[in-house]
């Protein structure tokens, strides 16, 4: 029998891509052995869980002049989160 969390209602959305992005998605899915729907769903679920800073960076909303600084800030934040998780796991 399926676990209760697997019975959560899902929403189907239409996704529009440029041909080159569709080709790259196909290549990725072929290489990983997964469906395009599964890959797109996982990416969207990951994106939706990110904070505003990461979402804005992924969407290219920061001016070109500060993108490198924003990327460095995000990586530093991810690094500090990883360190705090690792120290909690050791306890």
Cα end-to-end span (Å), the chain: 36
Whether 8 has a pLDDT exceeding 80, the answer reads no
pTM above 0.85, yes or no: no
Please report the pLDDT score of residue 10 as a whole number: 84
pLDDT at 89 (0 to 100): 64
pLDDT at site 6: 60
| pLDDT given for residue 24 in this prediction | 97
10-37 confidence digits (pLDDT tens): 888 899 999 999 999 999 999 999 999 9
Residue among 42, 18, 17 nearest 29 (CA): 42
Angstrom distance (rounded) from CA 29 to CA 27: 6
pLDDT in tens, 36-75: 999 999 999 999 999 999 999 999 999 999 999 999 999 9
């Amino acid at each position: 029998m399926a676990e209760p969390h697997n019975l959560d209602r899902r929403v189907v959305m239409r996704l529009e891509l440029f041909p080159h992005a569709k080709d790259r998605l196909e290549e990725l899915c072929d290489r990983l052995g997964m469906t395009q729907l599964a890959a797109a769903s996982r990416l969207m679920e990951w994106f939706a869980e990110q904070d505003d800073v990461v979402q804005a960076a992924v969407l290219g909303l920061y001016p070109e002049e500060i993108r490198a600084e924003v990327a460095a800030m995000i990586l530093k934040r991810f690094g500090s989160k990883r360190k705090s998780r690792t120290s909690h796991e050791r306890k």
